[in-house]
Structure 1
Amino acid sequence: MCLGLPMTIIETDGRSALCEYSNQQRRVSVILLPEPSVGSKVLVCIDTAVRLLDDDEARLIAQALDALHAILNGEDYDRFFADLIDHEPQLPKHLR
């Protein structure tokens, strides 16, 4: 299983990009993206940017990863899922 990281492109030459997530930088391939640009949020799996993310999606993925880190360290994680607490589960639109 591979976890994707929501990273921000800091610099790019069109084929690779220096990206940052959680104060760590990594050079990744961006050849799968149509036009990678500085400041874009991307989902990175195995040092390859596989798709562009909007700001909200990148934030949600980062929060889920932060929650996983909290769980593994025995810390409280409810704050990462405030939008889910006290709500009934809902089917996605395409399944309703």
Structure 2
Amino acid sequence: MCIGLPMQVIGLQGDTALCRYRGGDTLVDLLLVGAQPVGTWVLVFLDTAREVLSEEKARQIADALEAMHLIMGQHPIEQSQIDDLFADLVGREPPLPEFLLS
């Protein structure tokens, strides 16, 4: 399985960019999305940017990844911790379909 990571461009180097996610820096190929200015958020799969993201979308993806990290961890977690990471879905209108509520 390949999971896309939201990364922020922090430096440019030709057709690649130095990007940051969770404090780690990675050299990312920009050929599929074109040159991007410093500060841009991109969705990265296997060190290749596949999509340009808004800051809000990047945060939502990072929150979902953090929820997955918490769920897979060894420590007990509270439902509120997960709800906080999916604030855009909790109490939203229209409500989630019944099969997604359980």
Q: TM-score, normalised by structure 1?
A: 0.83
Which is worse superposed, 25-34 or 61-70? 25-34
Change (3 A) 1:20 1:79: same
Q: Is the contact between residue 14 and residue 31 of structure 1 (CA under 8 Å) also seen in structure 2?
A: no
* Superposed CA offset, 1:4-56 (max 9, x none): 00000010123111100111111111111133111100000000011100011
Root mean square deviation, CA, Å: 1.6
Unaligned ranges ≥5, structure 2: 98-102
- Per-residue deviation, 1:58: 0.4
Aligned pair count reads 90
Identity level (%): 41
Instruction: Detail structure 1 runs of 4+ shifted over 6 Å in the superposition.
Output: none
**Contact conserved, 1:9 with 1:37, CA < 8 A, in 2?**
yes
Unaligned runs of 5+ in 1: 91-96
